[in-house]
Structures are given as structure tokens and as C-alpha cells.
Amino acid sequence: MPESGEKIRKGDFAFAYSKVTPPLSGTFQIFGRIGVYDDHRFVIGSKGSNFSLFCEVSSAPYPMSAALPRVFVTVHIPLSHLEPLNGLAEIVMPDNGVAAAPRAQVLREIGDCIAVISQGELRIDGEFLDAAPSLKFVANAAMGIDNLDLAELRRRGIRAANTPAAFAESTADHTLGLMLDMTRRISEGDRYVRTGQWAKGMEPLRWEGTLLGGRTLGIIGYGRIAKMVERRARAFDMEVIHTKSTPHDHSGYRPLETLLRESDIVVALVPLTPETRHLINAERLALMKPGSFFINVARGKVMDEAAVVAALQSGHLAGAAFDVFEEEPMVNEALFAMDNVVLTPHIGGATRDQRRRGRLEASAEVARFLRGEALVSPV
């Protein structure tokens, strides 16, 4: 590999270093797998016995210096999950065990970082951006983007991307898991055994749950995850209907109010937007069948949590399951006392396989930005 201080020639395309003659004046600096010449950036690779310098016509999108650009990662993860950034960036990754870095810590340490990768838990707003004067790029290793103040990012010329497909299968699986848990009272039964109540005597009539086969599942939203949930639900012989913001010619389509009236189980699977905020409120809950079930794996603010609690307390809903909450991680305390409610801590996408995929996709977007390439999933 060429050494820092050697002279090379710029070019618009890849060329073999060994064939560069005569060298033009200028100094080539090497930082890992990055080379800099006259404010232009080179990615160093190899082909056979020759080293190749890949030079872009435009200048680098960040100030070049004698150090790699710094990228902040909010959770301590294997470096293999950030492989696309090898040689392109210095990784700043606080070790907080299994927890994400607290916001205060991120604000203290983000100052000279050009990019940040989070799981979507980090609110990117004016306060954050004021603390990050060098920031040029934000990557969500998550499907949602409601943690991003997009207007403020655009005002400051900061780009962003997410990973819209990375967690779909995991979330669909989790949705079916919640549905089975809720209707067959699995978590409730687990608590019953663990607390020694079963040992006091058999109560067979207590555990009669609800069969999924033959029931109607109503899905609010009809995107990637919803279609995966639909396929899984049909394997349980469920009838599946759906609604979406734009009516379409599909035998399973229903307007929202019709879907609520026809469904035995309703699942919310829509992004949080001004139009979907409190989409499930007291008025719409009243349209649901008495004794029906509600599941939210979308975003907490898609539902009016207090209204759902009231519908459970009155018995109008037979049960519910939530992976998201209106003010998470805070949860309406009334839910804790309800045996017919299943609660999980926003882990719908949390499988090892898909978390790794999401981080690889997010770091690949950062790498594309650093190389000046087009993004795959800009927001």
C-alpha cells in the first residue's frame, strides 16, 4: 500500500497505483482505508497485486483532516454489526451494558461526531443538534422515524435515513406471539404456576381461552409488516381484513369503521403521523365488538391509552396486548393489575438476526453518505 507522504495523481476513475506516472505535485495522506489528496477522498482497495485508488470527482462531504470522521453509536454492539464503516470512520461507542447511552451522555460526547446511529430511541431535535455542531448525518437502525425532527434536520442541512425493511419479520412474529399470549392467557398461566397457585388445587374452568381459527383479524394499515401478519394469521385459519389510508380494490379492504365492527381482534400497524395520532380513541373503541381484543405494535401515540384502559375496565374489551405505549417507557399503572393484558417493552423487532441486519443497513447508509453515494432509504 502507498505510504502517507507519497505523491499520486488524482483521477475520475479507479486506476492501479503502480501505473501512476509521473506523479503530480501534492501529498497523499492515508487514514486507515481512506486516502486524501487536495481535499478529495479516495477509498483504497486491492486487485491482484496492485493497490487501487478510487477517487470521486466531487470533494468529500465532510472536512478532511488527519483523522477519520467520528460516528457515534448509542448502544454497545459487536463491531461486525458496523462492518460497512471499517476504515471509513472512527466508532464512538460508550459501553453501558445492554442499555442505550443516556441522552445526557450522548449530548456530552456527540460534539465532534459527523454521524450518529441509534435504535430509534434517541430523540433528534434542536437541543440535540445544538450539542452536535459537526453532525451531518443521522441513521435510525429502526423502521420508525418519529424520533426525528425532520423539519429541523432539513433546516440545518442534515441528512437522515432509516431501515424500513430490517425488522418486519420479527415484528410480524411478535404480533402473532402477542395474539396467542393474549387469547390463550399464556403469561397469566405462567404467573399462576410460578406463584404456587396451581399447587393449591385444579381450576380447569378458569383457563378457557379463545381459539384463533374462524375469528376475524382486522389489521389497521397494510404495509410490509401487515402483509406478513396476514400470511401468518391465515395459517391459523383466521379471516383477515384490513384498512389503509387509500382505499383500494382488494377483497379484504374495509373502511376503518367497518373493520372495527367486523373484527374479533384488531391490530394497529400504522406509522405515527398527525393523521394517525389517537386513531384508536374512545369513539372508535366503542365501535368494536363487545368482548373483542386490541393489539398495538405500531406506535404508542396511535392509541389514546387512557381510553383503551377504560374499555378494558368496563369489560367492553376482553383483552389487549401492547408492545408500545403512549409515553413509553412510562405505562398507565392501571394496566399492571389486569391479568387480561400482555405488556412487552417495545421489543417487536428485537431478534438477533434482524437487529444485526438493521445495524448493518444503518451503517451502510452512513458509509454511502461518507463516500458521497446515493442513499437507499433517505427520509
For the CA atoms of 56, 62, 68, 74, the dihedral, rounded to the nearest 10 degrees, stands at -120
- The owner of cell 415484528 is 171
For 193, residues 6+ apart whose C-beta sits below 8 A from its C-beta are none
Alpha-carbon gap, residue 230 to 47, rounded angstroms? 47
In DSSP terms, which residues pair with 40 in a beta bridge? 37
- Examine the residue annotation and report whether 328 is marked as an active-site residue of this protein: yes
Residue 324 CA to residue 138 CA, distance in Å, equals 23
C-alpha cell at 262: 367486523
**Active site (annotated) includes residue 299:** yes
Could you tell me if 37 and 9 are in contact, meaning their C-beta atoms sit under 8 angstroms apart? no
Q: How far is CA 242 from CA 86, 111, 157, 173, 239, in A?
A: 43, 46, 38, 18, 10
Given the DSSP bridges, would you call strands 239-243 and 216-220 parallel, antiparallel or unpaired?
A: parallel
Tell me which of 174, 185, 232, 346 is the catalytic residue. Answer: 346
β-pairing, 34-37 vs 40-47, is: antiparallel
Burial class of residue 63 in the structure, from the number of CB atoms within 10 Å of its CB (0-12 exposed, 13-18 middle, 19+ buried): exposed
Helix, strand or coil, per DSSP, at residue 285: helix
| Helical pair 168-184 and 224-234, crossing angle rounded to 10 deg | 50
Q: For this structure, is 359 an active site residue?
A: no
Q: Which DSSP letter does residue 218 get?
A: E
Annotated active-site residue in 56, 109, 239, 328: 328
Give the three cell numbers for residue 275: 393523521
H or E element at residue 52: strand 50-55
Instruction: Give 297-324 as a DSSP string.
Output: -S-GGGB-HHHHHHHHHHTSEEEEEES-
Taken in order 312, 316, 321, 326, the sign of the CA dihedral is negative
Q: Give the residue carrying C-alpha cell 376475524.
A: 216
- Choosing from 41, 81, 242, 299, the catalytic residue is 299
Q: Which residues are catalytic?
A: 299, 328, 346
